[in-house]
Amino acid sequence: MGVGVAVIGSGNIGTDLMIKVLRLSESLDMVAMVGIDPESDGLARARRLGVATTSDGVDGLVAMPEFADVRLVFDATSAGAHRRNNEILQAYGRTVVDLTPAAVGPYVVPPVNLDAHLAERNVNMVTCGGQATVPVVAAVAAVAPVAYAEIVASIASRSAGPGTRANIDEFTQTTARALEVVGGAGKGKAIIVLNPADPPLLMRDTVYCLVPAGVDTGRVADSVAAMVASVAGYVPGYRLKQAVQFDPVDAYVPALGSRFTGTQVSVFLEVSGAGHYLPAYAGNLDIMTSAALRTAERLVAVREGARS
């Protein structure tokens, strides 16, 4: 029997996360699924799978008898809703893994900084773009100082639900900040593109880093490749689309407010989903749920080990 968990948010992300817990995790026990729409597919699917449900949000969760068995809660709602959800859950002493851009707790990107935040009671999973690109920026920064990092996340329009669309501003702000705080860039910028192509295209992420001239390109490429392999360990559809590119730069950079002379590192990524609940093109959602699952399992492993 694993550690009891609940998911708040019965939309695409929450439902995919529930199925991942049920199918993939040996250390987590899926106890409750929480929503606000009693007719949602996520709640209906949870009931069919034998998971306790409530359509009364976080208030309904804390009123459920099953809540006594829940020690960790995933929040897959919205940035606005998360603040109240977290306040209530913290009052009950629960650990929260936040999949919204609320950023109440520290940003966590598993292969980069998870071990530094194992004592936190609320951790933030940044954004899908952050989970895909921050590891690459961190890999480059491990070899050479990154003066500026810019990422462009292109996702299928069909994979952007109401929550994603409502949080576009938070997405860009949170991702840009994570490029700096977690990735190590001096300055970060994030752009998201909702691609309306039909059939839908897989998630694509482009990462640009400005580093000093004379950087050891071989070491940078090796560092990026190692990081991509690390992320692919829990997101199998995460991969490099082509070799890392290096180009000389001598131009004014508006984000820096000055001229920059050095090297531009360009990394091109593709992310396909595992197809547990979401279609393969929804890699942007799959990388979030996969990162959240990896984070929760690590938190539980450390805390349960401390108890034993």
Residue 200 has pLDDT above 50, yes or no: yes
Give the closest residue to 140 by CA, choosing from 238, 208, 239.
208
Amino acid letter, residue 224: V
For residues 231 and 135, the answer to whether their CB atoms sit within 8 Å is yes
Give the CA distances from residue 85 to residues 51, 79, 174, 243, in Å, rounded to whole numbers and listed in that order. Answer: 20, 10, 19, 43
Q: Which residues are catalytic?
A: 128
The residue assigned the tokens 């299928």 is: 156
Distance CA 84, CA 155 (A): 29
pLDDT digits (tens, 9 = 90+) for 140-151: 999 999 999 999
pLDDT digits (tens, 9 = 90+) for 77-116: 988 899 999 999 999 999 999 999 888 999 999 999 999 9
Question: What percentage of the chain carries pLDDT values higher than 90?
Answer: 91
Strand ranges in 76-216 using DSSP code E only, listed in sequence order: 95-98, 122-124, 148-156, 188-195, 203-211
Query: Which pTM was predicted?
Result: 0.94
pLDDT digits (tens, 9 = 90+) for 28-78: 999 999 999 999 999 999 999 999 999 999 999 999 999 999 999 999 998
**β-bridge pairing 148-156 and 203-211:** antiparallel
Q: Which two tokens stand for residue 209?
A: 């880093």
What single-letter DSSP state applies at residue 107?
B
Residue 308 has pLDDT above 50, yes or no: no
